[in-house]
Structure 1
Amino acid sequence: MILLVDDTPENLISLKNVLEKHGFEVDTANSGEEALKKVLKNSYVLIILDVQMPEMDGFEVAEVISGYSKAKETAIIFLSAANTEFRFIAKGYSSGGLDYITKPVDINILLLKIKTFYRIYEQSRKLGEVQKALLEEIEFRKAAELKKDEFISIASHELKTPLTSVKGYIQLLERGLAKGDIEQVKSHLSKAQIQLEKLNGLIADLLDISKIESGKLKFNKQYFDMDTLLENIIEVMHQSNPDFKIIKNGSVNVKVFGDEMRIEQVVVNFLTNAIKYSPGTNEVLLNIRLQNNELYVGVKDFGIGMQPEQVKRVFEKFYRVEETSHRFQGLGIGLYISSEIISRHGGHINVNSVYGEGSEFYFTIPIDQLMTDV
């Protein structure tokens, strides 16, 4: 938009009409004070500023405008009928003007200058956008590089932990066998098996991340009974966490069309996290129902919960809540993988959480992927 500033109404009207006929959007001000108010409220590509105005001349207006951060990219053309001497022209440039035109104005020359300023403005704007995009890309790559390094460090630590434990249990097994203590051998074997299962889970998550990144995460979809799947998951989870009660609320008489093992992976991830992040509690709820033409499956715990800013990022790849990262093991990719699985089933995944009170992670699957039992 162009701002015309002149204390003579006839000049404003005639120049405004000419510029609008050539497709320019034009605003006007009949004094320096009015011009300053408009510059503060609006953005202008160009200001055409009359020099001879009462109370506040064009030079003074330009000097004030040059101090506005909002208008630092705005070009100013001075128009003057009286001050045509070099010293006045020089003052116009030193006041922040990019051009100084004497009256009477050759409208064709003025139009050429305006078009040139617009072209320069567009080129500058596009260059600024490219520069901003490049800076954002550089910053993104630095964030990505830092996350990758952090992830490698975390993964190395998490993989070494169960390996070190297994190594220790093997040494204890050797001693137990040498002593002939069968009960001790069985105990160490059981504990070693738990660590191997942890290691297997970590490796499976790493492989899933790799498959997601390469677009090779495969799904074997067929109809399966959701209630039966959840009952089986509860039974298996209870065996490894006998002190925790998993209470199933609700039942749905439907078969889901999807990858049963992948859906199981999501529910197990929810339950595992619920138990892990709920120290001092012994109960989680597994909620299932049909709502709004969708299947709803949620796991509610009564643990540490999350802050709102953490909730926003919890499904990001490699994200780990800072204050829990040193207290709880994990790679920070389980929920990211879960979100990819549910997305590939046409569903939605989310969490409701209150800091200090607990969380409910849930997913929904559209009803058109379900088949009601007859």
Structure 2
Amino acid sequence: MILIVDDKQENLISLRKFLETNNFKVDTASSGEEALKKVLKTTYALIILDVQMPGMDGFEVAELISGYSKTVDTPILFLSAVNTEKKFITQGYETGGIDYLTKPFDPDILLLKVKTFYRLFEQAQAMHEMQEALKQEIEHRKMLENKKDEFISIASHELKTPLTSVRGYLQLLERLPEAKNNEKFKTYLGKTSAQLNKLRELIDDLLDISKIESGKMKFNFQPVSIEKLISNTLENVSQMYPEHAFKRIGQVDSTILADEMRLEQVLINYLTNAIKYSPNSKEIYLETALTEDNKIQIGVRDFGIGIPSDKLNHLFDKFYRVEESSYKFQGLGMGLYICKEIIARHHGEHGVESRLNEGSFFYFRLPLN
């Protein structure tokens, strides 16, 4: 709708008839005060405003309309037969007008301008509605994300208690004479223990996710020897996977300020992933080097199934899993996300290189200082 503001009724009637003939909805006001009351109640696509009016003139009305948050984007077109000098036209623009026409005006020119301003207003309104819808969607998604994180935190804590009890009972069973002397019994207990370890790792990951999201993941920064970190990690992983060959490439005799336990967590994740995604290979490389910009690079190279290039950018996203038709692997896609957050807290950077059916190289770089 268009609002025409003029103190002369003959002007209001003629201009209203002209616009309505061209299929525009029109409202009118015969004074500045009446116009201000109307713009507070109704949204107009365009305001055609006379300058010379008794009481409050058009410039004062435009300045007030431009100051309202509700009408700040409403276009104002000045129309005047008296104030045609340059100084008045300039004042019209300064008080919030987007155009200034003097009488007598060309009806075709006026119609063209009205159509243009009307269309621009409709586009601005559509954009505003889209922005509001997007804002609501983002707030809705944030609320769901918060609810999900809250559920993960509660569920992981609640699962921890019964898991500890089951682990305790399993250890009691392993000590029974019947278990020690029965190979089948020992096999079953071993498999049960392995599944419990997987469940414990899953719960630990859930707890880490919860701590990351709430900003409560704690770090204990101390001087850490890179060689000691790597040798300890390889020793632990070698005991878990004795059938695999872990080869060291490169050596960095440096000490950095870091949380040794968290960095070991990253390396173990990289190594176990390398094992998981290399079902036909038993060789894993752990490579260390100093980069040209004086950073320590630590990486794990496997010769497994590799990763498609279009999936590489998402590998470290929360809950992201690469699903290939030829291989199916267990996991919720949390490990690499946790690794990314740990590396970030060390002011480091992470990366991956991979070729399908040739293997992958997961690495991270940490500053020496």
How does the TM-score come out when normalised to structure 1?
0.57
**Offset of 1:305 from its aligned partner?**
0.9
Partner of 2:261: 261
The answer to whether structure 1 residue 364 and structure 2 residue 365 are counterparts is: yes
Question: What is the match of residue 349 of structure 2?
Answer: 348
Any unmatched runs of 5+ in structure 2? 1-103
Give the C-alpha shift of residue 265 in structure 1.
0.4
Q: CA deviation at 1:350?
A: 1.4
Displacement of 1:129 in angstroms is 3.7
The residue type paired with residue 314 of structure 1 is L
**Aligned pair in 2 of structure 1 residues 237, 222: CA closer, same or farther (>3 Å)?**
same
Partner of 1:290: 290
Cα distance in 2, alignment partners of residues 285 and 221 from structure 1 = 27
2:300 counterpart of 1:299: yes
Q: 1:248: how far off?
A: 1.1
Q: Is the 8 A contact 2:302 2:359 kept in 1?
A: yes
**Residue 173 of structure 1 contacts residue 188 of structure 1 at CA under 8 Å; is this kept in 2?**
no
Aligned pairs for 1:133-152 within 5 A? 133-134=134-135, 137=138
Residues 364 and 193 from structure 1, CA distance in 2 versus in 1: closer, same or farther, beyond 3 angstroms? Answer: same
CA RMSD of aligned residues (A): 4.2
Change (3 A) 1:180 1:122: closer
Distance 1:122 1:209, change over 3 A: same
User: Using the alignment, how far apart are the partners of 2:174 and 2:248 within structure 1?
Assistant: 43
Q: Mean alpha-carbon deviation: is it higher for 201-210 or for 321-330?
A: 321-330
Cα deviation digits, residues 206-262 of structure 1 (max 9, x gap): 110111111111111111101111011111111110111111111111111111111
Question: Counterparts of 1:114 and 1:179 in 2: how far apart (Å)?
Answer: 89
- Name 1:317's counterpart in structure 2: 318
- The residue identity in structure 2 corresponding to 1:207 is L
Aligned counterparts, 1:77-88, within 5 A: none
Distance in 1, matches of 2:325 and 2:287, equals 26
Is the 2:174–2:180 Cα contact (8 Å) retained in structure 1? no
Distance in structure 1 (CA, Å) of the matches to 2:112 and 2:366:
61
Other-structure match for 1:332: 333
- Report how far residue 131 of structure 1 moved: 4.9
Change (3 A) 1:217 1:193: same
SS of alignment partner, residue 323 of structure 1: coil
Deviation at 1:327, TM superposition (A): 2.5
Give the C-alpha shift of residue 360 in structure 1. Answer: 0.8
Corresponding residue for residue 275 of structure 2: 275
Identify which range, 318-327 or 342-351, moves more after superposition: 318-327
Number of the residue aligned with 1:239: 239
Distance 1:179 1:130, change over 3 A: closer
Contact persistence 2:174–2:189 (CA under 8 A): no
Tell me which moved more, 206-215 or 308-317.
Answer: 308-317
Structure 2 partner of 1:196: 196
Residue 121 (structure 1) shift? 4.5
Equivalent residue number for residue 308 of structure 1 = 309
Q: Which residue type is aligned with residue 265 of structure 1? A: Q
What CA distance in whole angstroms lies between the structure 2 residues aligned with 1:302 and 1:139?
Answer: 43
Aligned amino acid, residue 356 of structure 1 = N
Q: Which moved more, 1:317-326 or 1:342-351?
A: 317-326
Q: Could you report, residue by residue, the CA deviation over 1:246-288 in whole angstroms, capped at 9, with x for unpaired residues?
A: 1111111111111111111000000000001100110011111
Counterparts of 1:133 and 1:289, CA distance in 2: 46
Total equivalences in the alignment: 256
Q: Is the 8 A contact 1:288 1:297 kept in 2?
A: yes
1:322–1:135 distance in 2 versus 1, CA, 3 Å: farther
Which one is further off, 119-128 or 249-258? 119-128
Report the secondary structure of 1:231's partner residue. Answer: helix
Give the aligned residue type for 2:226: M
Q: Retained in 1: the 8 A contact 2:349–2:364? A: yes
User: 1:296: Cα distance to partner?
Assistant: 0.5
Question: Aligned equivalents of 2:239 and 2:174: distance in 1?
Answer: 27
Distance 1:213 1:104, change over 3 A: closer
2:44 aligns with none
Alpha-carbon distance in 1 for matches of 2:368, 2:343: 14
Q: What's the CA shift string for 1:56-96, capped at 9, x where partnerless?
A: xxxxxxxxxxxxxxxxxxxxxxxxxxxxxxxxxxxxxxxxx
* Aligned 1:1-374 pairs, distance under 5 A: 105=106, 113=114, 116-117=117-118, 120-121=121-122, 123-131=124-132, 133-134=134-135, 137=138, 177-178=177-178, 181=181, 190-291=190-291, 292-323=293-324, 327-368=328-369
Task: Give the drift of 1:143.
Answer: 9.9
Structure 1 residues 283 and 222, CA gap change in structure 2 (3 angstroms): same
Q: CA offsets per residue over residues 301-346 of structure 1, 9 Å max, x none?
A: 1111111222121111111112379722212100000001101111
How many percent of aligned residue pairs carry the same amino acid?
44
Q: Distance in 1 between matches of 2:327 and 2:253?
A: 42
Distance 1:187 1:344, change over 3 A: same
Work out whether residues 177 and 185 of structure 1, in 8 Å CA contact, stay in contact via their aligned partners in 2.
Answer: no
Question: Structure 2 vs 1, CA of residues 176 and 323 (structure 1 numbering), >3 Å: closer, same or farther?
Answer: farther
State how far apart, in whole Å, the 1-side matches of 2:286 and 2:127 are.
53
Superposed CA offset, 1:130-155 (max 9, x none): 1562586389579969xx69x98xx9
| Distance in 2 between residues matched to 1:248 and 1:351, nearest whole Å | 19
Q: What is the CA-CA distance between 1:108 and the residue it aligns to? A: 9.7
Q: Deviations for 1:117-176, whole angstroms, at most 9, x for unmatched residues?
A: 37615632532441562586389579969xx69x98xx99xx9xxx8xx89x95995898
**Secondary structure of 2:211's partner?**
helix
Superimposed CA distance per residue, residues 5-38 of structure 1 (whole angstroms, 9 cap, x where no aligned partner): xxxxxxxxxxxxxxxxxxxxxxxxxxxxxxxxxx
Distance 2:194 2:306 in 1: 27
